[in-house]
Amino acid sequence: MGSLEVYLRPGAYIDSDHPAVIAYARRQVRGANDVERGVSLYYAVRDGIRYNPFLDFTVDSAYRASDCLAAGEGFCVGKAALLAACARAEGIPARVGFADVRNHLSTPRLLEYIGSDLFVYHGFSELFLGGKWIKATPAFNLALCTKFRVKPLEFDGHNDSIFHPYDADQRRHMEYLRDRGTFADVPAAEIQEAFREFYPRLYGLGRDAAHETFG
């Protein structure tokens, strides 16, 4: 494997050696080859784990794959870590990547919660399939997309799966602004530092706010 070895080993946040992650990946994986198996894990995480951006971002559990799985919900980073962990558990090299994005369709509740429509360190996964890295974004589950008329992100294991610029009604949706790079494990301390800078009000909110739901 050479340079891919690091993308198969468990990390502090992409904890692919966690028994629950291993069991979940084993239950969900389908297919005769890595592409099919990677695709099946993508849909398991996309739709089996609810997207919830109203979390306590000051705690490490918000960024860890096994905690996301245990909660049955997570925001983009936790879900990306979980997909990467499941892939590694099944022998598929995986990592996480980050970008700053502007969500032109943020709900009033979410705008109030973070105080901005700019989302720094939006997280996605990258799986090594067919000899190349493929982006996979399992953040928004299908039920949420249907509710808000956002086009669900499909993944075929051959092409990058990233946010659509427009929604189902051709309203401007997601705009990519800055590439933050890829990592073998979630750089939680670096992300939290950026969150403190861009979203200072989050660090003054009470824990009750983290139990809100998206909508």
66-80: pLDDT as tens digits = 999 999 999 999 999
Does pLDDT of 169 surpass 50?
yes
Predicted pLDDT of residue 2: 53
Across 175-185, average pLDDT: 93
CATH hierarchy code of domain 2-208 = 3.10.620.30
> CA 14, CA 210: separation in Å to the nearest integer?
22
Predicted pLDDT of residue 208: 44
User: pLDDT confidence of 13, banded at 50, 70, 90?
Assistant: very high
User: pLDDT confidence of 105, banded at 50, 70, 90?
Assistant: low
Contact 151, 168 (CB under 8 A): yes
Q: pLDDT tens digit string along 132-153?
A: 999 999 998 888 777 877 778 8
> CA 11, CA 18: separation in Å to the nearest integer?
10
Q: How far is CA 65 from CA 12, 71, 79, 80, 214, in A?
A: 9, 10, 7, 8, 20
**Domain extents for the chain?**
2-208
Torsion of CA 152, 158, 27, 150, to 10 degrees: 0
> CA 116, CA 139: separation in Å to the nearest integer?
19
| pTM of the entire predicted model | 0.89
